[in-house]
């Protein structure tokens, strides 16, 4: 089907949830009020590492509060993230702990009639702590003399020992790096550090749980996955999944912080079961900031290259500071190797990764899952290579990038597929022209207070975690679609929408396939009881995998519609087509080439209803067998104030290959959003720790955790977005993902722009004005 034949794909339609959100009528967990509901609060450790000697809840209970301590919870260790195979599932958490390992870890919980009462009760829980020596630095943590954070944890069902605080160590390779570096005529290396970024999702992680009379529970959680939430709750509380109903409720964004069950959800369930009443928990921002962050990484990287610019080898060592719990460190180290392998055709590569426990807030996936960190390092070094070889950085990238026909590692070494669509060349060539690449400032030649620089950074992200054979990551989706008695369509999917418009995209995919206007297709409110499994909206898989599943099911429903319509029109279903008629606000079914004689979809639905034929419906699952990369390239212009070290981003050109664009406005918005958080990652976002208290220096407050505001961003008309002319053969109508790809290359492009402006290579994120000014002064002293 040629793209101009689409009636909805690629066109702008208002998002389905837009009106409700703008009018403030969209319901979030915090809005729901149930009869007899209590309000829950978590008692959190003020210490980074301690053992509880005594816990006394009697004073809180005297207030009438329900109190929950570690003794009230099944002693089950779990991993917040389900979605991988048990043999790679590292379990070190319990719902509440008597040995808190970071400031803010949940040690007890209270529930009372109001939030105020709950807070007062919380302050009356008496706890004696024995303080243990905290370990805050990941490098120091690995030394034999360091205090141990964990002695043993559970891997699958097996108890394993933790040595030197190393949660996981992995070595992943391909080819022969010795041979590769021997072939190299230039070797460059560098050490890169990235910050401990907080997700800063608009809605804090909340939960509401109602115990049911059959011993089951109903849960309204903030999550990216209702089914995995259900599975984990089933594991912990030993309730059959058929009696756990997890509702999908609109969420205020995640950025990865809800890809796993959040720590507050099982606490809420525990409280509700004990109270035998519904309990709602809506933490404060400072509690939320003590719950999750991005994986900060130290990356040592060495690249080998021939004089003609052909890369020959890559060697990367990674230390990821995972904090107090291992949420998905095994996967992280695997994907970091994959992101390296899939950027350029190294052929010979070796990755040695260590994920290290520290007494800090546990890290988890955040937009890019290790990719922004690796891409920053690689794109910085690739620029250095270009300079040393006297090659244009754009040409060097064009020579080496992993492209159509090459193998792409979508999710570490066990999830690989062959690239079938790739717009990298178009991104680089068109982007370079749009930014004025040929006229960019010459490095080292600028004078004056304000110095300008332009940098390029490219990257990608996987669309899902599918491969020809299933890997260690579970990855499938499903949908149930039915045509209602009036011809309107219900789409019942467990897919989540984090605000990017994923569910509206699914509605469009279904409308496109069924040949009905988008207005006829709606996304039903759902829960785990009424939907088939969907792993999660993570890994940039929403449209590609979840939308793909909906597309598959829509085809099945369409077949049924056409078979029935064939009888009505006295024609073979194979000869029929459905076309969306936006005037009739209906789908029109006719024999191809003879539109005069037709029936509409609503006529067909009514006919089937009145004749008691049944409902046109289908439910099915889909496992995508590919993980196509969405490619994104950034050209970023900065201005550096050499007297203050302040960096302003003045112009951005971003080229994106997300296959067929489902909704151009929302796709562009994804790029703007990715740019925003990417610039934050590059320039400002971080959570420091106070060595004395072991707590965040910002205390968990947004007052001192700064995100860039619109005033720090380039003017909107200085951000030019374009989409490449590509189509992914395995995606719904040619679509792939976009979300995480939108962020991954930003920091590399910023670093390269800063180098272009100042001649200084910045290797530690965030690149604050303090660091810039210091580096400029050191450079002045040297020269």
Partner 1 sequence: MSDSRIITKDFEYFPVNSADEAVQLLSTHGRQAKIIAGGTDILVGMKLGKIEPDYLIGVQDIPGIGDLEETGKGVRIGAGCTFHQVEASPVIKQRYQALYEAAKSVSSLQIKNMGTIGGNLCNASPASDSAPALLVLGALVKIRGPGRDRLIGLEDLFVGPGETSLAEDEMLTEIQLPPPLPGAGSAFQKIARVSADLAKVNGAVFVGRKGAHCLDCRIALGSVAKTAVRAKEAESIMKGHEFNEKRLEAVALKASEEIAPITDLRSSEEYRRAVSKVITRRALLKAWDRAGG
Binding partner 1 (rule: CB under 8 A), the pick from 2, 22, 33, 711 is 711
CB of 232 to partner 1, least distance (A): 25
CB of 121 to partner 1, least distance (A): 11
Tokens standing for residue 7: 């009636």
CB of 707 to partner 1, least distance (A): 8
* Complex with partner 1: residue 115 or 620, whichever CB lies closer: 115
Buried b (16+ CB within 10 A) or exposed e, 550-570: bbbbbebbbebbbebbbeebe
CB of 697 to partner 1, least distance (A): 5
Q: Which stretch binds partner 1 (CB under 8 A): 74-82, 119-127, 325-333, 522-530?
A: 119-127
Longest Cα separation, the chain: 89
Binding partner 1 (rule: CB under 8 A), the pick from 98, 115, 352, 425 is 115
Burial tier of 739 (Cβ tally within 10 Å: 0-12, 13-18, 19+): buried
Backbone dihedral region for residue 751 (phi beyond 0: left; psi -120 to 50: alpha; all else: beta): alpha
* Complex with partner 1: residue 374 or 683, whichever CB lies closer: 683
Contact 221, 203 (CB under 8 A): no
Is there binding between residue 716 and partner 1 (CB under 8 A)? no
* Complex with partner 1: residue 36 or 644, whichever CB lies closer: 644
* Complex with partner 1: residue 519 or 648, whichever CB lies closer: 648
Binding residues for partner 1, total number by CB under 8 A: 36
CB of 713 to partner 1, least distance (A): 10
Q: Which residue has the tokens 């391909």?
A: 174
Is there binding between residue 292 and partner 1 (CB under 8 A)? no
Is there binding between residue 63 and partner 1 (CB under 8 A)? no
Is there binding between residue 120 and partner 1 (CB under 8 A)? yes
Is there binding between residue 709 and partner 1 (CB under 8 A)? yes
List the one residue out of 503, 525, 505, 737 whose CA is nearest residue 626.
737
x/- letters, 32..61, toward partner 1 (CB under 8 A): ------------x-x---------------
x/- letters, 243..282, toward partner 1 (CB under 8 A): ----------------------------------------
The three-state secondary structure class of 580 is: strand
CB of 699 to partner 1, least distance (A): 8
Pairing of strands 106-112, 349-357: unpaired
CB of 712 to partner 1, least distance (A): 5
Q: Which stretch binds partner 1 (CB under 8 A): 424-432, 473-481, 598-606, 709-717?
A: 709-717
Stretch 647-706 residues interacting with partner 1 (CB under 8 A)? 684, 688, 697-701, 704, 706
Contact 655, 430 (CB under 8 A): yes
Is there binding between residue 287 and partner 1 (CB under 8 A)? yes
* Complex with partner 1: residue 117 or 383, whichever CB lies closer: 117
Is there binding between residue 64 and partner 1 (CB under 8 A)? no
Stretch 758-777 residues interacting with partner 1 (CB under 8 A)? 769-770, 773-774, 777
Contact 705, 200 (CB under 8 A): yes
Is there binding between residue 159 and partner 1 (CB under 8 A)? no
Say what angle helices 746-758 and 769-782 make with each other, to 10 degrees.
Answer: 30
* Complex with partner 1: residue 177 or 698, whichever CB lies closer: 698
The three-state secondary structure class of 281 is: strand
Q: Which stretch binds partner 1 (CB under 8 A): 62-70, 285-293, 398-406, 547-555?
A: 285-293
Q: Which stretch binds partner 1 (CB under 8 A): 164-172, 318-326, 642-650, 664-672?
A: 642-650
**What is the distance of C-alpha 779 from the center of its chain?**
38
Binding partner 1 (rule: CB under 8 A), the pick from 116, 182, 418, 450 is 116
* Complex with partner 1: residue 119 or 529, whichever CB lies closer: 119
Is there binding between residue 643 and partner 1 (CB under 8 A)? yes
x/- letters, 729..758, toward partner 1 (CB under 8 A): ------------------------------
Angle at 601 (CA atoms; ends 600, 605), nearest 5 degrees: 120
* Complex with partner 1: residue 571 or 772, whichever CB lies closer: 772
Instruction: Return the half-sphere exposure (C-beta side, CA atoms, 13 A cut-off) of residue 180.
Output: 22
Binding partner 1 (rule: CB under 8 A), the pick from 203, 286, 379, 513 is 286
Q: Across-strand partners of 166?
A: 356
Task: Give the span between the Cα atoms of 477 and 537, in whole angstroms.
Answer: 10
Contact 750, 638 (CB under 8 A): yes
* Complex with partner 1: residue 107 or 507, whichever CB lies closer: 107
Distance (Å) of CA 169 to CA 157, 330, 331, 411, 586: 19, 8, 11, 17, 57
* Complex with partner 1: residue 286 or 383, whichever CB lies closer: 286
Contact 731, 451 (CB under 8 A): no
Contact 295, 321 (CB under 8 A): yes
* Complex with partner 1: residue 114 or 594, whichever CB lies closer: 114
CB contact set of 365 (below 8 Å; sequence gap of 6+): 256, 259, 260, 295, 327, 328, 332, 538
Contact 478, 522 (CB under 8 A): no
Binding partner 1 (rule: CB under 8 A), the pick from 84, 109, 708, 721 is 708
CB of 127 to partner 1, least distance (A): 13
* Complex with partner 1: residue 100 or 500, whichever CB lies closer: 100
Is there binding between residue 119 and partner 1 (CB under 8 A)? yes
* Complex with partner 1: residue 19 or 774, whichever CB lies closer: 774
Tokens standing for residue 405: 């026909």
Binding partner 1 (rule: CB under 8 A), the pick from 48, 100, 104, 500 is 104
CB contact set of 647 (below 8 Å; sequence gap of 6+): 638, 639, 640, 641, 683, 750, 754, 767, 769, 772
Contact 341, 398 (CB under 8 A): no
CB of 271 to partner 1, least distance (A): 17
Binding partner 1 (rule: CB under 8 A), the pick from 712, 727, 759, 761 is 712
Q: What end-to-end distance do the CA atoms of the chain give, in Å?
A: 62
* Complex with partner 1: residue 290 or 347, whichever CB lies closer: 290
Task: Give the span between the Cα atoms of 323 and 359, in whole angstroms.
Answer: 6
* Complex with partner 1: residue 697 or 718, whichever CB lies closer: 697
* Complex with partner 1: residue 662 or 765, whichever CB lies closer: 765
Is there binding between residue 100 and partner 1 (CB under 8 A)? no
Tokens standing for residue 505: 């995209």
Secondary structure (DSSP) of 597-613:
EEEEHHHHHHHHHHTT-
Say what angle helices 547-569 and 601-610 make with each other, to 10 degrees.
Answer: 70
Stretch 536-565 residues interacting with partner 1 (CB under 8 A)? none
* Complex with partner 1: residue 149 or 708, whichever CB lies closer: 708
Strands (E), 539-646: 576-581, 586-591, 594-600, 616-622, 629-641
Residues in the site for partner 1, rule: CB under 8 A?
A: 44, 46, 104, 115-116, 119-120, 123, 284-287, 290, 643-646, 684, 688, 697-701, 704, 706-709, 711-712, 769-770, 773-774, 777
């Amino acid at each position: 089907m040629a793209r101009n034949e689409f009636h909805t794909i690629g066109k702008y339609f208002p998002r389905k949830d837009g009106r409700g959100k703008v009018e403030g009528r969209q319901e979030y967990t915090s809005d729901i009020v149930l009869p007899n509901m209590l309000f829950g609060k978590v008692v959190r450790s003020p210490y980074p590492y301690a053992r509880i000697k005594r816990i006394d809840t009697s004073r809180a209970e005297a207030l009438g509060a329900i109190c929950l301590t570690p003794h009230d919870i099944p002693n089950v260790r779990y991993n917040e993230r389900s979605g991988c195979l048990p043999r790679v599932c590292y379990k070190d958490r319990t719902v509440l702990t008597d040995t808190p390992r970071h400031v803010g870890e949940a040690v007890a919980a209270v529930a009372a009639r109001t939030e105020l009462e709950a807070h007062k009760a919380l302050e009356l829980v008496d706890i004696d702590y024995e303080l243990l020596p905290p370990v805050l630095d990941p490098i120091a943590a690995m030394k034999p003399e360091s205090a141990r954070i964990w002695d043993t944890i559970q891997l699958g069902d097996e108890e394993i020992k933790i040595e030197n605080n190393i949660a996981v160590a992995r070595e992943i390779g391909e080819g022969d790096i010795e041979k590769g570096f021997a072939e190299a005529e230039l070797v460059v290396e560098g050490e890169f550090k990235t910050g401990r970024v907080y997700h800063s999702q608009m809605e804090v992680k909340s939960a509401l749980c109602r115990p049911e009379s059959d011993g089951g529970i109903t849960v309204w959680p903030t999550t990216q996955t209702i089914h995995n939430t259900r599975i984990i709750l089933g594991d912990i509380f030993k309730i059959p999944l058929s009696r756990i109903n997890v509702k999908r409720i609109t969420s205020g964004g995640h950025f990865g912080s809800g890809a796993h069950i959040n720590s507050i959800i099982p606490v809420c369930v525990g409280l509700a079961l004990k109270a035998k009443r519904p309990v709602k928990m809506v933490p404060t921002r400072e509690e939320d900031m003590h719950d999750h962050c991005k994986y900060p990484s130290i990356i040592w990287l060495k690249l080998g290259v021939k004089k003609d610019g052909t890369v020959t080898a890559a060697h990367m060592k990674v230390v990821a500071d995972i904090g107090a719990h291992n949420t998905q460190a095994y996967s992280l180290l695997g994907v970091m190797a994959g992101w390296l392998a899939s950027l350029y055709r190294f052929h010979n590569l070796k990755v040695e990764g260590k994920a290290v426990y520290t007494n800090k807030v546990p890290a988890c996936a955040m937009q890019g899952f290790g990719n922004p960190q690796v891409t920053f390092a690689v794109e910085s070094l690739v620029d250095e290579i270009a300079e040393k070889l006297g090659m244009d950085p754009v040409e060097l990238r064009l020579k080496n990038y992993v492209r159509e026909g090459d193998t792409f590692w979508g999710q570490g070494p066990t999830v690989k597929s062959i690239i079938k669509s790739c717009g990298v060349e178009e991104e680089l060539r068109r982007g370079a022209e749009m930014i004025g690449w040929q006229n960019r400032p010459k490095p080292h030649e600028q004078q004056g207070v304000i110095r300008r620089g332009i940098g390029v950074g490219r990257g990608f992200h996987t669309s899902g975690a599918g491969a020809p054979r299933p890997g260690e990551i579970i990855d499938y989706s499903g949908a149930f679609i039915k045509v209602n008695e009036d011809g309107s369509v219900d789409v019942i999917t467990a897919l989540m929408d984090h605000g990017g418009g994923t569910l509206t995209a699914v509605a469009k995919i279904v409308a496109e396939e069924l040949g009905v206007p988008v207005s006829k297709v709606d996304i039903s409110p759902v829960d785990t009881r009424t939907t088939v499994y969907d792993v999660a909206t993570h890994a940039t898989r929403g449209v590609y995998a979840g939308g793909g599943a909906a597309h598959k099911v829509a085809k099945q429903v369409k077949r049924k519609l056409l078979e029935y319509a064939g009888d009505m029109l006295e024609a073979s279903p194979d000869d029929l087509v459905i076309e969306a008629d936006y005037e009739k606000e209906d789908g029109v079914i006719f024999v191809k080439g003879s539109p005069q004689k037709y029936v509409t979809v609503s006529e067909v639905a009514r006919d089937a209803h009145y004749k008691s034929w049944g409902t046109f419906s289908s439910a099915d699952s889909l496992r995508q067998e590919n993980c196509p990369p969405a490619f994104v390239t950034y050209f970023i212009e900065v201005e550096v104030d050499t007297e203050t070290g302040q960096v302003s981003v003045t112009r951005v050109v971003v080229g994106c290959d997300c296959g067929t664009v489902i909704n151009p406005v929302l796709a562009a918005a994804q790029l703007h959003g990715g740019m925003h958080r990417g610039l934050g990652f590059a320039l400002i976002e971080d959570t420091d720790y106070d060595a004395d208290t072991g707590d965040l220096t910002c205390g968990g407050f947004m007052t001192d955790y700064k995100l860039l505001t619109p005033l720090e961003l380039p003017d909107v008309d200085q951000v030019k977005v374009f989409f490449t002319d590509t189509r992914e053969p395995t995606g719904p109508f040619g679509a792939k993902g976009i979300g995480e790809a939108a962020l991954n290359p930003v920091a590399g492009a910023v670093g390269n722009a800063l180098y272009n402006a100042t001649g200084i290579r910045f290797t530690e994120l965030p690149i604050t004005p303090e660091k810039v000014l210091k580096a400029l002064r050191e450079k002045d002293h040297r020269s």
